[in-house]
Every structure is written in structure tokens, then in C-alpha cells.
Amino acid sequence: MTAQRDQQPGGTGKVLPIDPARAGTEAVRPAPRLERAWDPEMVIYEMRRFRDFFAFVDEAVDNSLRDHGASTMEWIIERGRGRSSRTTVRIVENGIGMTVERAVAFVSIGRSTSARRAGAFGRTGRGFRYSAYGGAGCTRIDVATISEEHPDAAYCFGIGVDAFITPPSEANRGVSAEFQDRAAAGFPFPTGTGTVFTLTGFEDASPIFEHPKKLRQVPPDEELRAYVGRRFPFLASRVTVSGKRCTPRKLDGEHFQRVIETRAGPVEIDV
């Protein structure tokens, strides 16, 4: 069972049964539609500031490991082969997840999903979505997230770049969403909170680019691991790319231990 796509006009979020053993006294729960806020002054221009896939990596690592308290982050890249194949980038992290309020911010232009970065631009608030569309070059983001607000089921929704940058109309302001249990949503964690981001549509023309037919390239796995090790020496050991852990860059030829504060509490890392 998959989340309804945002291309469906109107309608409401689908009400799905939740396993009573997992949901406690609430066996069925409705999933509210995500009402979008739209600010036309910062759409395509801001997205074009992100020049490549590595700009998206910066935002994704900051978003998960620093802003939302994740202790692990896994990048699963399925690369398209041949003309008919499609590339998928899946990011799995065990942070605090998204409440419905943060999910609304995620599908809205001009709103930050991070309290620490609210009201800021570029790598300071809206960067994950802007860099995914403008830097990584995907044309759709699907999300499955579990937070303390809804610990028994994954909140699932998705939005394409065309819908994201288009002003909402009275007939179709919302983005369809639904609750699914962990297994149905393909959620990797049997307990606890976290989020799975799935980026697709890299092969499709995007309205963000000045040359719509120009495709962004997803770098090789080794290149991504090396970049994370250089760019985030204190966080790299928490990141894996296609099953292999990133190696932190050595500082002055030695590794050392550091404790960083996150919203989920202190995290001890070896560098």
C-alpha cells in the first residue's frame, strides 16, 4: 500500500486501519490533508542557488544529524542503467521525525521545518527541499515519518516539484497524506522515531533549471563518502552510503572523540 500522490485533485487523506496492538486504544486514525502556504518571491531563484548534488548533501546531513537529532543516517542509492532505468535516492535517519505541523512546513514554500533555522534562507532553513529540487535535481520527494506525535504509524506524503512551486488554488490547496503501519510503509525501524526520504524523477525535465533538459548527476558512492568525510569530520562516522560507513577526515593526523549536543541529547562520536 502506498501513499496517495499529490497529482490527485481535491479529496481527503485516506483513513487507514492501524493494528490495535500497536495503536493502543486508537485503532483507526484519520490523516489530515496538508494545507500549503505559498510565497511567490522566493521560489525558483532560491532553488537555483544550489549548484550541485553536494549542496544537497550539506543540507541533508545538517537537517538530520544537527537539527533533528538523528544518530545514524543511511543513503541508499539505486542508479538507473540504460535509457529506461530510473535513479532513486533514499535517505533513512532516526531523528525526531515530523509532526503534522512540520509536514505542513515541508510541503510549503517559505516555511522552515527546523525551529533553529526558522525565517532563514539557503543552508539555513528551507535548504533540504530547495537543494533537493535545485541541487540534486530530483522532481519528486516522498516522505514516511514517525514522531512522538504519532508513534504507532508512519505519516506518508509526497510532492513533486511542479506542485511545490505552483500557487495552490481553492480547489486543490492540500497534499494528500495517509497513516500506514511501519510494515506497510516499509519503515526500517521496528521502534522509535525517524524519517525516510525518497527522491525520484532525476531523469525528468525540471522547471527549476534554466536548461530543462540538463540532468543533474548523482556522484559515485566513493565520491559521496569522501565528501562527507571531508565536509563533516565530526559527523561522518554516523553516515553510511550504500552500506559503507563514511570515514572522517583526520585532523592533524589523529582521531579524537567529541560530544556534540543535538535536540535528542548529547551524542558521542569518534573522529
- Predicted confidence band of residue 38 (pLDDT cuts 50, 70, 90): low
The residues, any chain, with a CB within 8 Å of residue 11's CB and separated by 6 or more, are: 4, 176
Nearest to 175 by CA among 53, 45, 38, 9: 9
User: What is the pTM for the complete model shown?
Assistant: 0.75
Residue with more model confidence, 38 or 137: 137
Which residue type is seen at 211? H
- Predicted confidence band of residue 2 (pLDDT cuts 50, 70, 90): very low
Cα distances (angstroms) measured from residue 30 to each of 15, 233, 245: 5, 43, 39
- Predicted confidence band of residue 196 (pLDDT cuts 50, 70, 90): very high
Antiparallel, parallel or unpaired: β 73-78 and 239-241: parallel
Q: How far is the C-alpha of 181 from the C-alpha of 193, rounded, in Å?
A: 13
